[in-house]
Amino acid sequence: MINIDVLNLGPMDNCTYLVTQGADALLIDPAWDPQFIIHTLEQKKLHLWAVLFTHGHFDHVKFSQTLLEHFGVKA
């Protein structure tokens, strides 16, 4: 079963989508708080296999390098 969780992050409550199937995870438009996202994924014991950006606004791409490096994935 595929699950979709919405994480509202940052001062503008930007939507980050966490799509999971079993222990596999996909992040869509991660925003603002990479440490919170890292903690959430690790707490749920999820394996991040990809990050998808639907657009290039700074609030999404500026903070994502930390996620990409931590999990060793490409956007």
Identity of the amino acid at 49: W
Tell me the C-alpha distance between 13 and 25, whole Å.
Answer: 21
Q: How many other C-beta atoms are found inside a 10 Å radius of the C-beta of residue 70?
A: 15
Parallel/antiparallel/unpaired status of strands 47-52 and 24-28: parallel
Q: What is the pLDDT of residue 54?
A: 94
Tell me the three state secondary structure of residue 40: helix
The total number of structural domains that make up the chain: 1
Interval 23-56: pLDDT, tens: 999 999 999 899 999 999 999 999 999 999 998 8
Tell me the C-alpha distance between 36 and 22, whole Å.
Answer: 21
Is residue 57's pLDDT more than 90?
no
Give the structural domain span for 12: 2-71
Is residue 11's pLDDT more than 80?
yes
